[in-house]
Amino acid sequence: MGSTDVNQTSFSKVLLTAEVLETRSIRVWAGTKNYEDSSQEEIASIVEDTLKIAEMAAEKNIAICFEFHDGTLTNNNYSALKFSNLVVHPNVFFSWQPPHGYKTSYALQGLKELLPRLYTVHIYHWTVGSKDKNKVNGTVRELIYPDDYHRHPLSQGVSDLDLYLKCLLNEGKEIPILIEFVKGDCPEQFIEDALFLSHLVKNISIDLSHIR
């Protein structure tokens, strides 16, 4: 993203496509560099463009939704919150996904911070650096993709998923949950994960109802 007529023209085409497809949102990446690696000028340019495309999309009742992702201005909890405070607009929202290699408490903190402007949640169960648990040691060597990133069935991450889903339900909003990755890119695993997720959501709803 950058403040140029070319980029605005390009977004107009994206917006037209979204309108024809009758989608409710457009997913956007906040640049191509981590927040701490970006200059103030680069950040300001992305903020300016964000507010422009938010206005353009609002005219079509289509939301702008930023990814929560490495290599962008939302690369971690601190960066995502800082960027969200720079792009305050009723048509700018955020996605969230469990960050790779971090403790559950850290991931949950980031989810809670974005809740007021959350639009979608991406769910999967990965471990980083070790097949059994998240184990990142940057002093040894840089992580290699995909060798150090291991996908697992959702059911094996039930303890973390339980916390994330309860956090969403307590917010009292309907937030779409998207299964983004499955083990081995296997269709059968996707069906298994979807059934497990559906079962988990229903059970959590029942568990919470008696304490509300």
Average of per-residue pLDDT across 185-201: 96
Quick check: 14 pLDDT over 90? yes
Quick check: 6 pLDDT over 50? no
Q: Which of 5-19, 142-156, 198-212 has the lowest mean pLDDT?
A: 198-212
pLDDT for position 128: 84
Q: If phi over 0 gives left and psi between -120 and 50 gives alpha, with beta otherwise, what is residue 36?
A: alpha
pLDDT digits (tens, 9 = 90+) for 116-145: 999 999 999 998 876 566 665 545 567 777
Quick check: 2 pLDDT over 90? no
CA proximity to 131, closest of 143, 144, 147 = 147
Give the integer Cα–Cα distance in Å for 144 and 196: 30
Average of per-residue pLDDT across 69-98: 96
DSSP 99: P
Q: What token pair was written down for 5?
A: 């007529």
Quick check: 152 pLDDT over 80? yes
Q: In b/e form, how buried is each residue of 180-208, taking b as 16+ CB within 10 angstroms? A: ebbbeeeeebbebbeebbeebeeebeeee
CA angle 102, 205, 170 (to 5 degrees): 55
Tell me phi and psi for residue 65, to 5 degrees: -130, 115
SS3 122: strand
Find out if CATH 3.20.20.150 is the number for domain 1-96: yes
Name residue 118's beta-bridge partners: 94
pLDDT for position 169: 87
SS3 60: coil
Determine how β-strand 118-123 pairs with β-strand 177-179.
parallel
DSSP 151: E
Taking each helix axis from N to C end, the angle separating 104-114 and 158-171, rounded to the nearest 10 degrees, works out to 20
Report the 10 Å Cβ neighbour count for 164: 20
Instruction: Give domain limits for the chain.
Output: 1-96, 98-212
Specify the pTM: 0.86
C-alpha R_g of the chain: 18
Give the integer Cα–Cα distance in Å for 30 and 45: 11
CB 35 within 8 A of CB 73: yes
pLDDT band at 15; cut points 50, 70, 90? very high
pLDDT for position 135: 61
pLDDT for position 181: 92
Longest dimension (CA), the chain: 55
Quick check: 109 pLDDT over 80? yes
